[in-house]
Each structure stands twice: as structure tokens, then as C-alpha cells.
Chains A and B, each alone.
Chain A
Amino acid sequence: MSVLVIAEHDNASIKDATLNIVTAAKELGDVTVLVAGNGCAAAGEAASKIDGVVKVLVADDAAYDHEIAENMSTLVVSLAGDFTHILAPATANGRNFMPRIAALLDVAQISDIVKVESADTFVRPIYAGNAMATVQTSDAKKIITVRTTGFDAAAAEGGSAAVESVAAAGDSGKSSLIGEELSKSERPELTSAKVVISGGRGMGNGENFQLLEKVADKLGAAIGASRAAVDAGFVPNDLQVGQTGKIVAPELYIAVGISGAIQHLAGMKDSKVIVAINKDEEALIFQVADYGLVADLFEAVPELEKELG
């Protein structure tokens, strides 16, 4: 078995999501990592150090800036012949280009796997994680997106894979980036942070998220939010945790002013320890919380910050 992992990266470095996918890939066979980007030599170098990676392919071309799906798919299809499995993280990027690759190869895609049972059988959540399906594909080539929280991260150091350049496969000319509004944050990435503190509708407005920021500073935490908080315009979309947002599974998840809709629980219920702070003692979030505190968040959160020293 030979597995191609499509790396998530920012040209300069490898994103944590890639490390989790390498772990899933190692269960399937020899791991080759593809780094496709624009000026991505450093990311290619970093990929070669990941423990367990045999080979790194680098496609460095303007066509792969921002991993535009049209161009990524033709590139991966040009490389696909050598591999039995092609894996990418179920991130916004992976979710965008992988089905395109699958259709070009006339293969069904298995989305969002959390477990590898065998070379052709995988476990994946359906219905917002309210059911787990074990599925077996009959396609010779397996196209898979992987939920990062399902697998431990491979060590970022220790490997010494050969790095090889591959030819670019052209620009479709049908899609180009004309604007970006990216959140700038010094905090850890939401999807790989050890601690996440999230706010919901109960926060009342965007300014009140500063209360969470102060606690996050003490814990080295990432900030998250429920859909209600994002829809209300309190915080940007990229903070959303849930079925259709980001899936997180930190060591500690603190839910503040979040009622606990199924769609939100789908994004965080695999966290190791869950804390809920909500003034409504009937809130659904308490049904999944290890530690529940029925309290007014505007008193409890500043107190929490103080208690954490």
C-alpha cells in the first residue's frame, strides 16, 4: 500500500492537521506527503522531518497559491497513479478540493474518517456525529478526508524523507483569488489547541469576548464560539465550533454561555474534559459537561481568571 497525504501548510511551515493525517496514513502503508504551494520549499523541508514519512513531493508554482481547487485537483490526478490511498485533512481546503479529485478519478470519496479498520474499511460520523457508520469502499483507489481529532499527531521531528520536485499541472484560468480577510491571532490554532474556551449567545456582544480572552491568556487557550455567537456577529466565522464549523477535541473545553445545541456538541463532545458555565441549569450543555457551574458568566468568568492566578 502506498499513501499520498496532501499537506495543509502555509508555505513556510506544516500545519498541525498534517501531522494527524500522517498518523492515519501510517496505518495504511508507506507515506508520501505532497506539499503544493507557492514558494513552499520551507514547508516541503518541514514535511520531510515528520516521523514516518518516506518521501515528500513538492509542487511549487503560482497555480497552487491558496490551494485553488481547480488547480490542486489536476495536480493530484497527475500524481495519483502511484498511490492506493490519497488522504487530506477534512479542513476547509481538503473539503474543497478532495471531492473534485475523487470525481476526476471516478472514485467515491470517504469523508471525515475517524478510524481506519482496514485498507478499505473506515469509521465516520454521520448525522452530526449522532451515529457512527462503518463503511467499506469497493473502489481500487481510496480518496479520503480525515477528521484530525480522530488521530494523534505524528512527531514533527525525527524523519529524514527524500524531497523531490514535481512538475506543475497548469492553471485552469477559471478561478482566481481576489481578496482575503484572515483573522490574525497570536493564540494557538483552534483545531489543535490543548485548551479551548468558547462563548455563545450568552456573551451578549463581541466586546464581552474580552472576558474569555483574559482567561485564554492564562491558559494558553484558543478562543471558539457557537454558531449563535457567529450569526449574531459577535465574532468572525472562523471561530465557529460545530457540525458545520470546526471540530475540536482539546484536553480542556470551557463552554461559556453556550446552550449546547446538537450542532455545537457535534464539534466538541470528544474533548477530554468539558466545563460548562451557564446560568440556565436546564441547558443541554450540562448533559455532556464533566464540571458544570450554574452561574452568571459575567461574574464567574472574571473570577475564574483571578482564581487561575
Chain B
Amino acid sequence: MAEIFTSAFWAEYGGILAEGVWDTLMMTAVSTFLAYLIGLPMGVVMILTQPHGIRPNRVVNAVLGWIINIGRSLPFIILMIALFPFTKFVVGTKIGIKGAVVPLVVSAAPFIARMVETSLSEVDAGVVEAAQSMGASNFQIVWKVYLPEAKPSLVLGGSVVLIAIVGYTAMAGTMGAGGLGDLAIRYGHQRNVPSVMWITVIFLIILVQVVQSVFSRLSVRIDKRLK
């Protein structure tokens, strides 16, 4: 463990560690962004189509609910393997950051949908009714009422999603995606260089702490109910 303070260690492993950190951050950022593009509208549709929503639709709500549940019931590592053919078809490869993004998005989108649905369900139904009474269209209610009113909660949900996706990237790393998970299994486990693994552990702890505290503070700061 003491070897991590030697320059020889960093000369040998500094490069791959930096690359691992970068890959993890990239995978997390890109797949979170893409997963929100899919999950956010899904969550919105779930809220609109619920029985007391502003556009009730039992069929859409039930079908979308099943899809979300199916997506959420598969452990990430199984989903990733099951999706290999699909991944190859979409991005042309099963490995690397590109290969990891596809299963990460497929796995995170339903999770995000549920987080968004929960956040939006906290918006006071009376405020939505007030907007309807003023002649707001459903689209305006989503953009001007649901999303802005739920913003603090959506931001907090975002931190949960980000941290979950960091965890997924580590699993993806063991299946050839690169990043810190890859380093931990190849060096820490297979080559018996535990120091590399411990560096990844420390880095992940820091990453999660930073994400959580930044998002928590942001959520409080933008929440005008607390002033």
C-alpha cells in the first residue's frame, strides 16, 4: 500500500489510472445525458397518463409501466450481456466506451423514468388544476408547471441516477468497457496489484461525495420554498 507514495508506482500506473478515471467520467456523463433524453419523457408520460393525470390513458400508462418494470428488473450485468447483439448492431462494437453506453442507457432510462415520475408526483395537484383553470395546454403545464415546480426534486434525483450509473460503469468495465472497474479487476484481481484497486476505490469515494454534495447544495439553493 505504501508503494502508492513512490514515484515508481505513478510512473508505471499513473497513465492508466488517469485514463481509467477519464473513461469512467465519460461513460457516466454520456450515458446519463442520453438516458435522461429517454427517461425524462417516459416519466412525464407516466404522470400525464395516470388515472388522475391531465391526460389519463390506461393503456399507455400500463404498457409503459411494464416496459419500465422489465428494464428495472434485470441486473445490469445480465442486461449488458443480453444486449451484446443489439449493442453491436447500434454502435458497431461491444467493447470500449461506445459499447458500454448502449447498455448503460437502456438500463438507466427506466430508472430515470421512475425517479422523474416520483419527483413530478410531488407537484401539488392544486397548482396543476389552477393552470388548467387558466386555460393552459397540457404541453404548457409540463413545461411551465410540472418541470419547474419539481426542479429541486429532479436535481436530487439526478444525483441518485449519476451515482447509480458510476456503479454500472464499474460492472461494464469488467466486461471490456474500460474505466476504473476494468483497472480494478485486471490489476487488483488478476495481476495482484491491490494498490491500483485501492486508488480506484479512493477515487470512486471522492467522486460520489462530490456529486452528492454538489447536487444536494444545488437542490437547496434553487428551491424557493425554503426561503
The reply to whether chain A is a binding partner of chain B is: no
Q: List residues of A whose CB falls within 8 A of some B CB.
A: none
Q: List residues of B whose CB falls within 8 A of some A CB.
A: none
